[in-house]
Amino acid sequence: MKPVAVCRNLLSRQKKTAEELDAYELWLDNNGIPWERIDCYHYDIINLLPNYSALIWHYSNFVNADLMEAQNILDIASEMGLTVFPNHSTGWHFDDKIAEMYALQAAKAPIPNSWVFYELKACLNWLENEAKYPLVAKLRRGSGASNVKLLHSFSEAKKYAKRMFSSGYQPAPSVMYKTYSKVQSARSVSDFKNRFKKIPAFLKAHRFGKGMPNEKGYCYFQEFIENEGYDLKVAIVNGKCCAVTRGTRKGDFRASGGGDIYFKRELVTEKIIRSAFAAAKNLKMQAVGFDYVVDKKTGEGKIIEMCFGNGVAKETFEVGGYWDESLTWHDEPLNVIDEAMAYLFKNNNTN
């Protein structure tokens, strides 16, 4: 039996020593599946792939090389007959909010009204004559809410659009914003200290994102949905659903990247759970994390973003339990990476 190839992205190599096993490697060990580490950044990677039965590569939106070629290499590996994670359906729209919008629209998922423009003239005409303010503006790339702006008037939107169709914006989050975000979301002095300790790790991650080109030549907008001070991260994997609640920062409408994470089962409605299962099924994703914002006026949940990485993120581990596809609640921990791997190796012909 050929071993499974596991690639560590450049960022994770900074966080763990070579001797430490990551969650994927631990699962393979525990299930008696032979594996080896592989360097997918190697110039001869394609010729190395036939030595393996599968390729697992949890690539990062902080690593420019990953955004450039990771999914392409995984897709080639799949065409060569390897079982891969993430596969094409799971990863083609990774860290591309416009692609996510198109995919979610095709899947008939509940999303906010959204608009994308590729010409400045058409964009300005819409902003002046049709847009309703406040309006949410997003870059195609980036995470942690650093590239999300709330535009309150046509004059603000006009200025934003003109920059997007000229110099654009850098998608990598700034050190100043990340520090501000950590401070704003801290609930206590001890919480502040713990968050502040994470800044050095962010500085290392920021180094890999410096090569990202500015985002420009388009504008992407979503309707503003006023929330109750939180959003929901809903993960779907292996026929199971778990969720966490993320508090917004003080004086801010954004929750992503703040780190204020807790579990409150009653906030996750049956309609949200059903819509998450349906969207994941229609999108044919191996694992996915949906970001839901809940309308303060209607109580309706809308998917504003999605990502396979969030579907297997540490924050969704063991958050109090999970629902199965019949919506039965299971009051036991759910390790989403273990579930993703279990799904992958029982469905190894669905690349």
Q: Quick check: 301 pLDDT over 90?
A: yes
CB 100 within 8 A of CB 115: no
Tens digit of each residue's pLDDT (9 = 90 or more) over 151-210: 999 999 999 999 999 999 988 765 544 444 445 555 555 655 565 555 565 555 556 556
DSSP notation for 240-300:
EEEEEEEEPPTT-S--TTS--EE--GGGS-HHHHHHHHHHHHHHT-SEEEEEEEE-TTT--
Beta carbons within 8 Å of 137's beta carbon, 6+ residues apart: 148, 149, 150, 151, 157, 160, 219, 220, 221
pLDDT of residue 351: 39
Residue 229 has pLDDT above 70, yes or no: yes
- Topology, domain 230-346: D-amino Acid Aminotransferase; Chain A, domain 1 (3.30.470)
CATH 3.30.1490.20 residue ranges in the chain? 111-223
> Residues of CATH 3.40.50.20 domain(s) within the chain?
4-85
**Which residue spans of the chain are classified as CATH 3.30.470.20?**
230-346
Give which of 112, 95, 217 is closest to 162, Cα–Cα: 217
pTM comes to: 0.86
Q: Domain spanning 111-223 has what CATH number?
A: 3.30.1490.20
CATH number, domain 4-85: 3.40.50.20
At 95-109, the pLDDT tens digits run: 999 999 999 999 999
pLDDT value, residue 202: 53
Return phi, psi of residue 149, to 5°. -125, 150
pLDDT band at residue 309 under the 50/70/90 scheme: confident
